[in-house]
Structure 1
Amino acid sequence: MATPVLLAALLAAPAAWSATPAPPDPTQDQLMITAGFLNGHPDLRFRLLALEKHKAGKREDAFRFFQYAAQYADKPSQGMVAEMLWNGDGTAQDRALAYVWMDLAAERGYEGFVGLRERYWSQLTEAERARALAEGEAIYARYGDAAAKPRIAAVLRRERKAVTGSRTGFAGNLRIVVPGPSGSREIDGSKFYDERFWDPAKYQAWHDAVWTKPRIGTVDVGGVEQVKAGDASSRIPVVSPVQDLPEPDAGSEMPQLEPTDTKP
């Protein structure tokens, strides 16, 4: 029986397997994380927390954090919600809803997620397909890009302005001091506030560069079978977005990067 390896793809460093060159991954830089980069990027913060919980065997917590990240248009996290629903991992098994979440993950036509979505669809019963289409609209209204992209854009703008204000070029003059057990270290503001990670359109382009053609396959007895994408269009009807979801409350918990994760 083939088993999807989406989690393995998520755990790999994006620069190692993306099909096109992408900017350095700030989540691989421990100093950036310590300096508070994730406060302005809840999609990355909650995804990393979810992966930590999953690795630690705290699957219900992982499922919750992946859903938090999904509120902020994080397609890998939406894909992981789908995987966990499909397998009954950390939540009750629900293949119809799993399809809906993988359809969300495939919304931008990211090849690996489209392939997994089509694999799901091919294995659903007619009753499951009907329920997926019936219940999918409510999920899309809250987590689809029409609702989630403005949500993450608002956070990026709010958190960046909280430090830089409205002064053009001010970020490049900042020196961010990060205290540590061996003394303080500094980050150049031009690195921390790189436009690629704070401008909503450029931030989206970074995600696209990483996820458009990731090498996501399935593990089988014969090795790794590459999943081929089909039509990227959704089967779920377009709905009006619901943007006023409350911000997730995870307290002050932040992911703990291993020392080996500090290289971009």
Structure 2
Amino acid sequence: MKFVLSGSAFVVLTSITTIACAGMSPSAANAAASPPAAAGQATAQQPVPPPAADANIKRLLQTMGESSTWGHPDLFGQFAGMQRLFEGDYEGALKYFKIGSRYADKLSQLSIGMMYLNGRGVSKDPAIACAWITLAAERGYPTYVTARNKICAALNPAQHDLAETTLKTLRPEYGDVVAKQRMKLALTTARNALTGSHLGHDSGVLTMASDSSPVNCGGYTLYLGGVEVPRRGCGRYDPNLLQPKNYFSARDAQWFGTVTVGALSTPVMPENPNTPASNVPHRGKD
């Protein structure tokens, strides 16, 4: 994670080697290349400690906990999952990441994949990791695609088959075709009920925290695609973030660039850009 200080605000650049992949060792990164006794067989291992959190990560996690996620179950799952991941509560992290994943949150899906790759709270399994990360990469986010290609390309044939089978079971529940529809309904319902300040139910490539926000009640506030995420009980969501098209554009902008919600300056990314997301990428050599 990289913080670029600018006056009273700082920018948090979250990469797959910090939040979702925090604490990943070289051996874990290359776990897919280690031949298991059989596809899907549990690997004996010592308990994996939670990712290390410096002062900046702790502040970001605290800010997540203080942010409103009203009307945004994707952020609810992502924020709660991240907090539990760093606390070492892997069962809780997996539970909440799956909630975020059901509402099309790609960082939650990536995080589940990394839990399987590292063996945090689950048996280390690069095939299942590949399946989740392939799902997370279906919008073509560059860092996600890089992670997918590296992990999936190292699978042996038996692991690749297991990854394909697992992906087929995940897609009907967590793929964008169905998960985005759930999220659209949640946003539309919240927009229709918008009456004032609400309590909550991002992290991504670009998140900003500021101590001079007009609606943060004196604390730090996250920004999503350039639009402020209010703290619980302090102000309310920008109505533009309750418009599905604008919201998904803002989320994509975290990984592709920047966007001004309202007058969009970054187009919504296509559902299936470039690399087909229907199949797990094959390893380079058999």
TM bucket by the smaller chain?
0.5 to 0.7
Which deviations, in whole Å up to 9, do the C-alpha atoms of 1:9-34 show, x marking residues without a partner?
5699xxxxxxxxxxxx9x95887x3x
1:57 corresponds to which letter in structure 2?
Answer: G
2:111 to 58, 80, 97: 80
Higher relative contact order (CA 8 A, sep 6+): 1
Aligned to 1:44: 75
Q: Is 1:63–1:91's contact at 8 Å kept on the other side of the alignment? A: no
Give the aligned length. Answer: 183
Task: Report the Cα distance in structure 2 between the residues aligned to 1:95 and 1:30, rounded to whole angstroms.
Answer: 31
Q: Which amino acid aligns with 1:114?
A: V
In 2, distance between residues paired with 1:11 and 1:198?
29
Other structure's SS at 2:88 match: coil
Report deviation, 1:76.
0.6
| 1:259 alignment partner in structure 2 | none
Match of 2:245 in 1: 201
Q: 1:30 to 1:11 in 2, by over 3 A?
A: farther
CA distance in 2, matches of 1:10, 1:213: 20
CA contact 1:86–1:98 (8 Å) conserved in 2: yes
- Going from structure 1 to structure 2, the CA distance change for 1:39 and 1:87 (only over 3 Å counts) comes to same
| 1:151 is the counterpart of 2:182 | yes
Is 1:116 equivalent to 2:147 in the alignment? Answer: yes
Are residues 1:236 and 2:279 paired?
yes
Q: Percent identity?
A: 30
In 1: Cα distance, 2:109 partner to 2:65 partner: 25
Deviation at 1:177, TM superposition (A): 8.5
Alignment of structure 1 residues 245-256 onto 2, 5 Å: none
The code of the aligned residue for 1:192 comes to: R
Shift of the 85–213 alpha-carbon distance from structure 1 to 2, 3 Å rule, reads farther
2:20–2:110 Cα contact (<8 Å) kept: no
Structural mapping, 1:137-148, within 5 Å: 137-148=168-179
> Could you list the per-position Cα deviations for residues 152-201 of structure 1 after superposition, in whole angstroms to 9, with x for gaps in the alignment?
1101111221234xxxxxxxxx5x389xxxxxx6x8xxx72423311011
Kindly state the Cα deviation for residue 55 of structure 1 after the two structures are TM-superposed.
1.1
Within the alignment, does 1:6 sit opposite 2:16 as a pair? Answer: yes
State the distance in 1 between where 2:163 and 2:244 align. 31
**CA distances 1:52-75 after superposition (whole Å, capped 9, x unpaired):** 111111122112111111000000
> Is 1:64 aligned with 2:95?
yes
Q: Judging changes above 3 Å, is the alpha-carbon distance between structure 1 residues 192 and 158 closer, same or farther for their aligned structure 2 residues? A: same
Contact preservation (8 Å) 1:40, 1:155: yes
Cα offset for 1:78? 0.3
Contact 2:65 2:79 in 1 (8 A): no
Task: Provide the TM-score with structure 2 as the length reference.
Answer: 0.56
Instruction: Tell me how far apart the structure 2 counterparts of residues 10 and 212 of structure 1 sit (CA, whole Å).
Output: 18
Structure with more helix by fraction: 1
Map of 1:156-235 to 2, 5 A cutoff?
Answer: 156-164=187-195, 174=196, 176=197, 192-212=236-256, 232-235=275-278
Give the unaligned 5+ runs of structure 2. 1-14, 23-59, 200-216, 218-229, 259-273, 281-286
Q: Which residue of 2 aligns with 1:260?
A: none
Q: AA paired with 1:148? A: A
Contact 1:195 1:202 survives alignment (8 Å): no
